Amino acid sequence: MGAGHFALAAGLKRWAPRLPLWVLILSAYLLDVIFIVLFAAGIESLAQIDPANPGYGGAIIHAYYTHSLVGALLIAAAAGLLASRWWGRGGGWIVAGVVFSHWLLDLVVHRPDMPILPGNAGNLPLLGLGLWQIPLASAAVELALVLGGAYLYYRSAARLPTPAGMTPVAQRQCVMTASVTVAVLLLLILISDVMGL
Ligand SMILES: [Zn+2]
């Protein structure tokens, strides 16, 4: 879901004009960023289902803290509180929402490997709708997110006031170029993901 999380962040720029794009992107990936830290520390891990054919969505992810429902909610709340110091209450809520949206998107694609409580306490059922098992369908969902995200990003950038010394036509071209660049980058991420690069 590499491209999908990114697309969501870019698309949300429209509703959060004060939040820098990097904050939205970091928020969309925060669970995975913390996962990488815990992975390095040996607390969370990743296993290929078929080590001979590592492919798109072909991993079982043992992220029992960052990707547990309660863990993700706690991380989202902490990130939202932190963000509200700089970008106000509204900014804090958006950051918290974007952080948690990662868990919701992962819920759709992951195989059942996401616990409810941190550390899979109580051995409750693991969650995950497993769309990755149908690579074509999950790639289609990501593609829709990429196109939708790039379009919303374009809309939000096009609303910004024209900078001094720039004609509206030149601004439009700039915005168009930036949006197409974002879309192409996301498509490349998606393609490399699908091909298991
Ligand atoms: Zn994730």
Find tokens 């798109």 and name the residue: 56
pLDDT of residue 54: 60
152 Cα–ligand 1 center, Å: 23
For residue 160, report the distance from its CA to the centre of ligand 1, in Å.
Answer: 32
Instruction: Tell me how far the alpha carbon of residue 171 lies from the centroid of ligand 1, in angstroms.
Output: 36
DSSP state at residue 127: B
Is 38 exposed, middle or buried (CB count within 10 Å of its CB: 0-12, 13-18, 19+)?
middle
- Decide if 61 contacts 113 (C-beta within 8 A): yes
Q: Compute the distance from residue 91 Cα to the ligand 1 centre, in Å.
A: 22
| Domain residue limits, the chain | 2-194
Strand pairing category for 59-62 and 45-48: antiparallel
Q: Give the alpha-carbon dihedral of 169, 175, 176, 178, to 10 degrees.
A: 150
- Give 93 Cα–ligand 1 centroid separation in angstroms: 20
The pLDDT value recorded for residue 11 is: 77
Q: How far is the CA of 194 from the centre of ligand 1 (A)?
A: 16
Residue 134 CA, ligand 1 centroid: distance in Å = 18
Please state the separation of Cα 148 from the chain's center in Å.
Answer: 14
CA of 190 to the centre of ligand 1 (A): 15
CA of 1 to the centre of ligand 1 (A): 8
Each of the 197 residues of the chain gets a pLDDT tens digit; together they read 667 787 777 777 777 778 888 898 889 889 988 988 998 888 988 776 666 666 666 677 788 899 999 999 999 999 999 999 999 998 999 999 999 999 998 888 888 888 999 988 888 888 888 787 777 887 888 888 888 878 877 877 777 777 777 788 888 888 888 878 878 887 787 777 766 65
**First and final C-alpha spacing in the chain:** 14
Q: Which residues surround ligand 1, an ion (CB under 5 A)?
A: 32, 106
- Find the DSSP H helices in 41-134: 69-109
Alpha helices in 110-167 (DSSP H): 135-158
Give the span between the Cα atoms of 1 and 135, in whole angstroms.
11
CA distance 28 to 50: 28
pLDDT of amino acid 74 = 97
Q: What pLDDT does 50 receive?
A: 64
